């Protein structure tokens, strides 16, 4: 682990160096003692504000955190907490990607030369957003008949409750009121 320090309008004291390096020793379990880890610590003083910024270069990724406080040690501690959250999220993402990889047996062709297509589970695809307007069920059915959509979410003008109207296969409309 390599540390670089930059002080803007302030001298980097040995106490600040010790504080940062001690905190990073506590985070060693996340970084797995990676010797290629480079950390750049920038401390800055502007009037009464103490600004601590930490930039970590780890596994082809850059983690950055910046915090402002009246106390430099507190600003650096909070910035390191942000770095810890980012590193845990990144590490979890890397582990999940490796564990969700397809096994070699499923990728390799079958002995008789035919590959079996495994059905994918259905997934949720985000749709567009639109405003939910107050209208009666009759107005909603008229609006739905003019559109290509199969359903319409609306707010009942009388009761102010949400409702869903949908096109049925028989050509009629269905109404769902929770």
* Closest to 30 measured CA to CA, from 93, 100, 75: 93
CB atoms within 10 A of CB 118: 8
Contacts of 22 (CB under 8 A, 6+ apart): none
pTM exceeds cut of 0.75: no
Residue that is last in its domain, among 99, 115, 142: 99
pLDDT tens, residue by residue, 83-106: 989 888 888 887 777 777 665 555
pLDDT tens, residue by residue, 15-55: 999 999 888 888 877 877 666 788 999 999 988 889 999 99
Q: Do residues 4 and 21 touch, judged by C-beta distance below 8 A?
A: no
Sheet with 162-167: list strands edge to edge.
134-135, 151-156, 162-167, 173-176
3-state SS class at 27: coil
Structure tokens at 147: 């559109």
Over residues 152-178, the mean pLDDT reads 86
Q: How many residues does the chain have?
A: 178
Contacts of 95 (CB under 8 A, 6+ apart): none
Query: Are residues 144 and 91 both part of a single domain?
Result: no
pLDDT of residue 109: 56
Q: Do residues 168 and 174 touch, judged by C-beta distance below 8 A?
A: yes
pLDDT tens, residue by residue, 100-150: 766 555 555 555 555 555 677 888 777 777 777 788 888 888 888 887 778
Provide the residue range defining the domain that includes 66: 2-99
Question: Residue 128 domain-assigned?
Answer: no
Question: Residue 153 domain-assigned?
Answer: yes
CB atoms within 10 A of CB 133: 13
pLDDT of residue 14: 92
Query: Are residues 94 and 147 both part of a single domain?
Result: no
Query: Are residues 11 and 90 both part of a single domain?
Result: yes
Query: Are residues 138 and 92 both part of a single domain?
Result: no
Distance, first Cα to last Cα, the chain: 58
Helix (H) or strand (E) holding 139: helix 137-146
pLDDT of residue 97: 76
Tell me, what CATH number does 84's domain have?
3.30.160.100
Tell me, what CATH number does 156's domain have?
3.30.505.50
pLDDT of residue 116: 55
For tokens 């990724």, the residue is 61
Question: Residue 104 domain-assigned?
Answer: no
**Number of structural domains the chain divides into:** 2
Structure tokens at 146: 């003019």
Half-sphere exposure of 88 (CA within 13 A, CB side): 8
Q: Do residues 140 and 148 touch, judged by C-beta distance below 8 A?
A: no
């Amino acid at each position: 682990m390599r540390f670089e320090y930059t002080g803007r309008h302030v001298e980097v004291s040995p106490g600040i160096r010790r504080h940062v390096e001690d905190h990073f020793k506590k985070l060693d379990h996340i970084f797995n003692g990676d010797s290629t880890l480079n950390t750049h610590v920038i401390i800055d003083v502007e009037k009464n504000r103490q600004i601590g910024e930490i930039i970590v270069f780890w596994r082809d990724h850059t983690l950055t955190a910046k915090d402002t406080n009246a106390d430099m040690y507190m600003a650096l501690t909070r910035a390191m907490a942000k770095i810890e959250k980012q590193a845990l999220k990144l590490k979890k993402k890397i582990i999940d990607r490796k564990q969700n990889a397809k096994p070699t047996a499923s990728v390799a062709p079958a002995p008789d030369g035919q590959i079996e297509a495994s059905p994918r589970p259905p997934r949720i695809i985000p749709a567009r957003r639109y405003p939910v307007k107050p209208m009666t069920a009759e107005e909603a059915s008229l609006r739905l008949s003019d559109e290509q959509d199969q359903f319409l979410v609306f707010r009942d003008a009388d009761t102010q409750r949400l409702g869903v109207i949908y096109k049925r296969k028989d050509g009629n409309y269905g109404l769902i009121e929770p």
